[in-house]
A and B are shown apart, each in its own frame.
Chain A
Amino acid sequence: MTSAETRYSFDLAEEMAQQLEQEFGPEALRGELQKAFGGGGASPKGAQADSFFTDFGRRWMQRTIELGEQYTDRTYETLKDAAKKVETLSFPFISQRFIEIAYLSTQPVYSLPIVENSGRGLTFRMPFCGHFKAIREGMGEEFADQLHCKNACLAACQTAFEHFGFSVAVAMDAAVPKDEYCQFSIRRA
């Protein structure tokens, strides 16, 4: 008799999720915004705000990859093992893992809504963005609704694929507050 469950965990490590939440969750973002732009009432220039979020997204994903590799799990090990034998499996699934970790750790969702994950690419949605809420609260609705924050998600997705050697184009197909969710599509470039 074998018992995989007693030997391995297939789930994400809670410790890792907490660490990421602490460093890149909505509260952390609010703090960084405060530090960079002085918070409510301030209106940083578009380009300035865009590069702030691009930087935030990149660091968020870099740290996710670092911790995600450190806190591996059986699902990831099985995926890596499968990808060694079937090369086509690395795309998009390995990057998907880290995107899931990044969002699950910092967003108020229990699972990431995936719209497509196939050899063509990855598409997912973020329905109740905690970061967006924090930006509205910290910087006001007008600034938040300009969606400079999309650069964080675009950069995070880009980083998640680039890190594993995939050259991709990331597009935003839908966005709050107009739509009920943000949707990002990653396709091979």
Chain B
Amino acid sequence: MIPVNPVITIDRERCTTPFDCKRCLRVCPPAVFAVHAAKIVRGVETDRTEPGAYLLAAVYRDKCTGCMKCVEVCPVGALTVAMPQEVRA
């Protein structure tokens, strides 16, 4: 069997201020997530409460075990974590 990892989806309509929220970034044991400012503006410190100013991504997905801790902790229900076969079904 070739090892595969869960598919992680982030609904950016719901996850709008990930750098302010931090919950999934903090809770994930293998630190799968990363957060970046959508754009870096000269002379400006990005407002972390402004919707869309920061973007969340599941960068290190090959480390995801499907433990679901991030899904449980997400306050806006923006995350899904499912094995590929479940996604297809």
Contacts and interface: CB of A to CB of B under 8 A. Distances in A.
B47 interface: yes
Query: Chain A interface mostly helix, strand, loop or mixed?
Result: helix
Interface stretch (B37-45, B65-73, B74-82): B37-45
Contacts of A1: 44-45, 47
Closest 10 CB pairs of A and B: A5-B43, A3-B43, A4-B43, A5-B42, A3-B44, A1-B47, A2-B45, A1-B44, A6-B43, A1-B45
Interface string A1-25: 1111111000000000000000000
Interface of B: 42-45, 47
B59 to A, nearest CB: 27
A3 B42 CA distance: 8
Q: Interface extent on A, as a size class? A: under 10
Contacts of B44: 1-3, 5
Contacts of B45: 1-2
14 contacts: A1-B44, A1-B45, A1-B47, A2-B43, A2-B44, A2-B45, A3-B43, A3-B44, A4-B43, A5-B42, A5-B43, A5-B44, A6-B43, A7-B43
B42 to A, nearest CB: 5
B53 to A, nearest CB: 10
Which of B43, B44, B45, B47 counts the most A-chain CB atoms under 10 A from its CB?
B43
A7 B44 CA distance: 11
A11 to B, nearest CB: 12
A34 to B, nearest CB: 46
A7 B43 CA distance: 9
Interface in A1-55: 1-7
Nearest to A4: B43
A165 to B, nearest CB: 34
Contacts of A7: 43
A1 B47 CA distance: 7
B33 to A, nearest CB: 26
A6 to B, nearest CB: 6
A5 B45 CA distance: 11
Contacts of A3: 43-44
